[in-house]
Amino acid sequence: MKLKEVTFEIAGQLMLVLNAIGNEKYAEKISLLSGSSIGQHVRHVIECFNCFMDGYETGIVNYDNRKRELEIEINELVALSKLQQIQDQLKYIDLNKRLIMEVGFDRMLTDKTQLHTTAGRELAYNIEHAIHHMALIKIGLLNICPKFILPESFGVAYSTINHKNKICVQ
């Protein structure tokens, strides 16, 4: 699968979950997730994708400066709209476009390091990052809705799926 298709699929999987669980479960604080909610994890994923999209336009991607839009974590309809926007924007992305990724590792985030990257590399990062948060969403969702059925691949890295498939074939 190609990066854009995978990103589209991930956004679609998140949208299916959001449509199925309702706003109350979406915003519920889950003790197993250190008090965070499914909505908080979805918000974080969306905001990182938005940082990438904004950086694609400006030429500088900086995930540290993401806007924390709290409405995304408490209102599943806002999150659904944002996920749809991500899917819509994907068609305009040139994966070979050169970008700068700017990051700060000091506590004040004042000492910024700039690294050369591409849109494709940053999209790949966002895919892996989203899958990581989807794994946490899966854990939380199964904790508060034990009978909820998710696709087996939800929150599982593509490399893990491929590895499991190789083992089963042998």
Task: State the residue range of the domain holding 22.
Answer: 3-169
Residue listed under structure tokens 């309809």: 77
Tally the domains of the chain: 1
Stated pTM of the model: 0.90
Treating both helix axes as pointing N-terminal to C-terminal, what angle do 38-58 and 3-27 enclose, rounded to 10 degrees? 140
64: which DSSP letter? G
> 144: number of CA atoms within 13 Å, CB side?
21
CATH number, position 112: 1.20.120.450
pLDDT tens digit at each of 170 positions of the chain: 599 999 999 999 999 999 999 999 999 999 999 999 999 999 999 999 999 999 999 999 999 989 899 999 999 999 999 999 999 999 999 999 999 999 987 776 678 889 999 999 999 999 999 999 999 999 999 999 998 888 888 887 777 666 666 666 55
Asked if 41 contacts 137 with a C-beta cutoff of 8 angstroms, the reply is yes
